Amino acid sequence: MPNERILVVDDEEDLLELIRYNLSKDGYRVTCVETGEEALEHAARERTDLIVLDLMLPGVDGLEVCRRLKSNTSTRNIPVVMLTAKSEEVDLVTGLEVGADDYITKPFSPRVLLARIRAVLRRQLPPHGDDDEILGTDELVIHVGRHEVTAGGKSVSLTHTEFRLLQFLARKPGWVFSRSQIVTAVQGDDYPVTDRAVDVQIAGLRKKLGEASRYVETVRGAGYRFKES
């Protein structure tokens, strides 16, 4: 049985109770709040293993909550599952841009939510047996076990998804991967993501890497690859 602590943020009381019931039944320790302000305070004060975060909240909305969480060194590694009634691509892309790890639209099945939460939490675990593995080049170093990236000798702060994406490409320098292959490898087969969302992740990754971004190459009409040194 899992024992992770999950924070659920939504202003719909009935939905909060439904999520609390199903997560608690599955063994998770659940805390529910109704505002973005409460979510930020709780995450800063209490150990939190994952946040289920509604996009439309009174006051500080879900996107701003996610943005603040990911910009704070003490909370940036907490995975966030966005929960919203909006299904347009622009909302999905915006959620990914601010660091969300997954995205579920209402109405949803509690079983689907549970499956997504399990998948996100599994992705937080370091890969077995490769704690000392180092990928990349002298200029761009990826330390798998430490979940650290340095570019030009300087540490680079990446979201969990950005790190997995870079790690995936760097394992096979020169190989070209399609957007769908990247999605499957980084997020799982059922991740509700579009080609545009992959491009957004790549753009954000390149921006953080600075000059070392030249190692993440676009192959027109095919996808992306890690440049061979």
**pLDDT at residue 180 in the model:** 84
Can the peptide bond before residue 107 be classed as cis, meaning omega within 30 degrees of 0? yes
Q: Where are the alpha helices (DSSP H) in 59-140?
A: 62-71, 89-97, 110-124
Q: Helix or strand or coil: residue 130?
A: coil
Do residues 117 and 52 lie in contact, with contact meaning Cβ atoms separated by under 8 Å? yes
**pLDDT at residue 145 in the model:** 81
Using CA atoms, how far apart are residues 58 and 63, in angstroms rounded to an integer? 12
Apex 134 CA angle, 128 and 136, nearest 5: 130
Q: Helix or strand or coil: residue 185?
A: helix
**pLDDT at residue 2 in the model:** 63
Tokens 């019931």 found at: 21
Region 136-140 average pLDDT? 91
Apex 100 CA angle, 96 and 104, nearest 5: 90
The average confidence (pLDDT) of the chain is 86
Do residues 142 and 171 lie in contact, with contact meaning Cβ atoms separated by under 8 Å? no
Region 99-103 average pLDDT? 84
**pLDDT at residue 128 in the model:** 46
Region 133-145 average pLDDT? 89
Instruction: Record the tokens describing residue 138, joined without a space.
Output: 């002298």
- The confidence band for 194, taking pLDDT boundaries of 50, 70 and 90, is low
For residue 125, pLDDT over 70 is answered with no
Do residues 198 and 169 lie in contact, with contact meaning Cβ atoms separated by under 8 Å? no
For residue 33, pLDDT over 90 is answered with yes
pTM, rounded to two decimals: 0.64
Which tens digits make up the pLDDT trace of 36-61? 999 999 999 998 999 999 998 988 99
For residue 20, pLDDT over 90 is answered with yes
For residue 151, pLDDT over 90 is answered with yes
- CA dist 206 → 67, 69, 114, 199, 215 (Å): 19, 21, 32, 11, 9
- The confidence band for 129, taking pLDDT boundaries of 50, 70 and 90, is very low
Residue 183 is given by DSSP the state H
- The confidence band for 224, taking pLDDT boundaries of 50, 70 and 90, is very high
- All residues at 6 or more sequence positions from 54 whose CB lies less than 8 Å from its CB, including other chains: 9, 10, 11, 12, 62, 82, 83, 84
**pLDDT at residue 87 in the model:** 64
For residue 29, pLDDT over 80 is answered with yes
Q: Go through the domains of the chain in sequence order and give each one's CATH number.
A: 5-124 (3.40.50.2300), 134-226 (1.10.10.10)
Task: Report the 10 Å Cβ neighbour count for 207.
Answer: 9
Share of the chain above pLDDT 90, in %: 48
**pLDDT at residue 126 in the model:** 53
